[in-house]
Structure 1
């Protein structure tokens, strides 16, 4: 199959590319960092095509797609996404919330719209969106990030409504705590010590767990759709609602 993966240079995206190529698929990996894409290309060989692209920039996406020479797009994995900061909304920097919205929502939607006409024409295809449990479970400081992932969840379900009868499938994967990525390092603006504390003494899920789930979805029969897959480590669970008690 021909698979497109955004955010391919690290974390979930890198593992997804590695596992899918290992399974014999042809993967086009989109990311901003050419050096990391080139390193992945050197590792994965001819079945991996690196494409430099910024999902926040529609013109960059247009340029990337104009260079594609694929007669068929079987799968799109909308993996690119990020969280910035953990401040309450009244203190969150404007640049941080605009970047999260542009990446997690606008880039994902634009990439999806770029592939859908071809998928609808060929009457087949699979769109896998990378959501988060943050789209279902709020937490202090999760404001914009959680809202973007709630959008991804609802967008995925509405895509299914739009695409009924076309043969195109849509799945939203919603991971919980996952280590061995740059997620927390980016959220805390390069404060590696602070990022590492998020995973202290916890056996979190790993990028390969996400990648194996993607590979499993790709291999499912064309008549089966998984609307949502929520994944957490065994060490994580939902807690009680907070109650503030005054004096």
Structure 2
């Protein structure tokens, strides 16, 4: 069942952490819920991999995923800045977005967004990634919305690293597993796009629909789609 409130959304993820769970699926749900409850029109999640390069973990749409990838490739943008600064970053209005990030800002504005916010994913004294929120209107977030967005970012960090004792190698292994789950999702999107004649955005929506319909984790649904395609060859 879709959580009715932001508190229920966060509580559901916390409860899942106490059981066997799908990291990729939980992160996808967190990103969707963050956009829904803050609210924002789109959201994305990036983390640092073991080479300290930013990688996309999840996004609310294919277009948002492209914006996040573009930030990582250009080494510029709200999530790049939030990881470097370790504190929230924002830009409101077309001029400020373009002025703050000359390359990536153009892409953000062209995608229809006029306000962008990023909140750090923190683990102890480290910033391991960022939660990006995009809004189509040039409006700020109030204090409650900022606190809620940071709460979603904090819980996302917990999902990645897990609430247990971690050595450095354990943290890197957790990040790698999360990234591997994202690779599976991307592969499945390509498979469904080819099979069903969809664009990548439609293929992602189909994966989410199947996950909700079957109550399977998103990664399991993606693996099923890939395996069915291989058996059909």
Question: Is the TM value for this pair above 0.5?
Answer: no
> Which one has the largest radius of gyration?
1
